[in-house]
Structure 1
């Protein structure tokens, strides 16, 4: 989906910002042991993906602006017939430059010999300190080797800078091809949520619904963008519920927070549906309020608006509705000023999304909410959570948790909802579920 020409453009921009006296070092994500000699499924570091598309472990991308013998270098695993028999094919340093559009590539086994020479003469090192403690120590060791040669005329780096200060801002603005990939991830997630609405019924378990999502995602060469939340009944009041083992009971709601990752790009959708296919009066009242709040928040997403605008729009609708439903007392002004809504709505209304489901990018600049601009992609996800043990809520609402979430891209004329095809209006949800059961 992303072409080598786009990766090259990203690298050029980053190197231009860093300057010719710098070196930028991006190691691959380390492989993680699950137990004994088995590993968790591997997922490449998002920054390395963003700048190269290279997905193999045990690799390091090095950018050396202005270097006469090549600016873009990759250290990767050498081809090895025996290991490839066990673990699958490797690209190898001989093929990497041609396939990936790089200047040169080396065997990762040679990095100790080569990287100190690349550091010499560079005053600034851009790197993510703290992500990988083992690689941090290696980098410090390479720098110290250069420092040891100062009396012989070596010039070691003297400034270490956080790579994210440059790269995060670049990643925040999605290109046309990135938006196509994100739309594909969104479409797959929409299909997963629609399948859940077909399958949902009393007597199943949360893990049964989780399995429906996994089947749809894998069928489209995608995977979960994050650990899914499948929360029945009062479990929906646990924001990051992870157990996914409880039974689905007639009369309860089911909250599903699940997104697909396709070619590295994430989607993030939440829908809340009635397990028996019909909302009760109390459920309907809470759900309609959250849906109205989401509509107000999405309407606030447009160029020139600030980051807090969607959240403030959602909070005002929720607070006014909670007063009407008897969940809160006082005036709207008092409720907003004292944040009296927080026992029922305690989180923000969205986050950036892209290669990471909680993507990089500042939310504030000079202590002020940043201005939304075309190409930014964010989630909009208000909710209400009325825990069964919350005595502040009228009894008819206790045990109801509702969240509705979509992915929204800021456009020149306003915004576009990438995940709009997933039913969320009450009539649409009920009709979808009833028709699926009748089929």
Structure 2
């Protein structure tokens, strides 16, 4: 970035943190300060503001908020978007709002750092929600913020919406962020509690703690328990996807599969590069950024033995023609829903006999989980079905110190040496969605229509593993698909990416023509 921050010292931001951020680089500033400049830059601008269209998600967010206030009655709920996080000196990481904030506002992409959604029971009907959105709206052309504020200024970060535009988009009341404290404090006490999504915005969290104390609400563990209940409720509500969410998941999966196809086309370039894994990562990232908001999580592009490191995201290794490459990647679309797909590909385009042997064992385990998946099955039984196959296979290969049955018992579990992770996790706005849900709502829950999760068994034989034959060492395979529970079974959302070994080889050959 070659431009310099020209923030004026009289630019206001609403908090000390914002002031600090806005003044980054003042010591090297070359800002113009004459009154003539101020008058000239504030004149001659078209001030027309067209009406804003409602977000597609705005049809769905009211019912989400209603369900939240019914779960946590008589409580004003504070859902911050979060703050920008420093990457280095005066540069920040790209902003991604907190998931609960995005879920209940319907906002996506990078909207909107430092903003806050407040949800509370309606005065007329406590079973329905009243929502108010607080953010910093567009500044006038006659303010120094317009041209001099590197955090909010239109010349620096683009045009911000007005209060009216934001209300039109979200379908809720919208106020300036400077009014937040007064709104949070009003009527809090004996009849109305105050809770905040913890760990998102330390400044707003401190504000809530202070208001609770001033109005006689308990602090300490009791306040923490209320906040944790909000986090749990938001997590559990996302276990069942509505029609809009399912549509967004389909878009994310489709974009992800396009990314895999682009990677396959570029595999020859990866083989010729000293950090071929980075080539794979970069190709997928380009598709994710062009077709969506970006990647939903750090891409795993793991060639050879790196595939045996479950979260290999350094991606700095070579890609050899006789190896497998495990690619675990997902596109996050603008609504922030992400796919999570893994394919293990033979770099040459053809599996060796040993590679195929491992691959087909993993595929059989995945197919076993698919075979039992249906409404009414307990979530943890997906894992059990896959593990039965892998334990039996590893016993047949002579790798277990006992029988498959002994290994599957709680006292055994030897097979987990080569399959140490779970077979499934929920998927949505977070790649590991609904992570704060209670066990009885997650692992021990029955599958219901609208749930979206992964099926992803694997086998990983590290190259220094002396308990396996040498021919298996350095081979890691995972096959991961994204699954929607329907009324009578499940739908494999990522089925368009071939899974069977012959089909994978054919897919790669067609894309490389």
TM-score range, shorter chain: over 0.9
Q: Is the 8 A contact 2:81 2:200 kept in 1?
A: no
Distance (Å, rounded) in 1 between the aligned partners of 2:358 and 2:81: 45
Corresponding residue number in structure 2 for 1:235: 306
Distance (Å, rounded) in 2 between the aligned partners of 1:100 and 1:403: 41
3-state SS of paired residue (2:495): coil
* Pair member with larger Rg: 2
Q: RMSD value over aligned CA atoms?
A: 2.2
Q: Which runs of 5+ in 1 are unaligned?
A: 149-156
Work out which of the residue numbers 150, 154, 160 in structure 1 matches 2:226.
160
Work out which of the residue numbers 387, 398, 405 in structure 2 matches 1:326.
398
Are residue 88 (structure 1) and residue 141 (structure 2) matched? no
Corresponding residue number in structure 2 for 1:36: 89
The correspondence of residues 251-262 of structure 1 with structure 2, limited to 5 A, is 251-262=322-333
Q: Is the 8 A contact 2:198 2:231 kept in 1?
A: no
Are residue 143 (structure 1) and residue 215 (structure 2) matched? no
Corresponding residue number in structure 2 for 1:249: 320
TM-score by length of 2: 0.79
Are residue 59 (structure 1) and residue 132 (structure 2) matched? no
Are residue 288 (structure 1) and residue 360 (structure 2) matched? yes
Deviation at 1:48, TM superposition (A): 1.1
Distance (Å, rounded) in 2 between the aligned partners of 1:39 and 1:234: 34
Q: Deviations over 1:346-369 (max 9, x none)?
A: 110011001111101636218971
Distance (Å, rounded) in 2 between the aligned partners of 1:79 and 1:329: 68
Q: Is the 8 A contact 1:186 1:259 kept in 2?
A: yes
Corresponding residue number in structure 1 for 2:203: 134
In structure 2, the CA distance between the partners of 1:191 and 1:413, relative to structure 1 (3 Å rule), is same
Are residue 116 (structure 1) and residue 190 (structure 2) matched? no
Work out which of the residue numbers 102, 106, 110 in structure 2 matches 1:49.
102
Q: Is the 8 A contact 1:78 1:90 kept in 2?
A: yes
In structure 2, the CA distance between the partners of 1:215 and 1:165, relative to structure 1 (3 Å rule), is closer
Distance (Å, rounded) in 1 between the aligned partners of 2:213 and 2:497: 55
Distance (Å, rounded) in 2 between the aligned partners of 1:144 and 1:56: 28
The correspondence of residues 8-27 of structure 1 with structure 2, limited to 5 A, is 8-19=62-73, 21-27=74-80
Distance (Å, rounded) in 2 between the aligned partners of 1:89 and 1:171: 32
Q: Which runs of 4+ in 1 moved over 6 A?
A: none
TM-score by length of 1: 0.92
Distance (Å, rounded) in 1 between the aligned partners of 2:372 and 2:135: 46
Q: Which runs of 5+ in 2 are unaligned?
A: 1-54, 147-152, 218-222
Corresponding residue number in structure 2 for 1:424: 499
In structure 2, the CA distance between the partners of 1:122 and 1:131, relative to structure 1 (3 Å rule), is farther
3-state SS of paired residue (2:491): strand
Q: Is the 8 A contact 2:196 2:205 kept in 1?
A: no
Q: Per residue, is there more strand in 1 or in 2?
A: 1
Q: Deviations over 1:289-313 (max 9, x none)?
A: 0011001112222100001111001
Give the count of matched residue pairs: 428
